[in-house]
Amino acid sequence: MKNKSSRGISGRAFAFVTVLALMAITLAPPVQHYFAQRAQINALRTQLNDSESALESARRDLALWNDPTYIAAQARTRLHFVFPGEIQYEVTGIEETSETQGGPAAPIADQIPLGLPWYGRLISSITSTNTQINP
């Protein structure tokens, strides 16, 4: 007669493990779809928040453009408009330095042609420290 402990896995344990494996195989795709949809919902919420903040910024800009004084100030600074009877003066003859222009701080950057790729500009900046480059 055989002892129960010498048989190894009982029939009940094997059936239980088989049922658990079938349930895992059956439930895996819906669970995966659930988590993918939750990630998509979170991404869409983030996009919605970004769009709402951009819309609010556009509304603030629109409110500014409804103000006649703001429009006049923009016309003066951007288009150099003046009101009738005003005289506009433009100062010339002042040499601008790199600090006042807002341009590059290194004078060699003005001599490098713009059509080169970044590595070509890098090599040109190294090899031509004191020479003038003609594009």
Of residues 122 and 23, more confidence is placed in 23
> Where exactly are the structural domains of the chain?
10-90, 103-130
Please name the residue ranges forming H helices in 66-89. 68-79
22-30 contacts at long range (C-beta below 8 A, 24 or more positions apart)? none
Model confidence pLDDT, tens digit, residues 41-95? 999 999 999 999 999 999 999 999 999 999 999 998 888 888 899 888 888 887 7
Contact criterion met (CB below 8 Å) for 48 and 54: no
In this prediction the pTM is 0.43
The C-alpha atoms of residue 7 and residue 11 are separated, in whole angstroms, by 10
Query: How many Å from the N-terminal Cα to the C-terminal Cα in the chain?
Result: 99
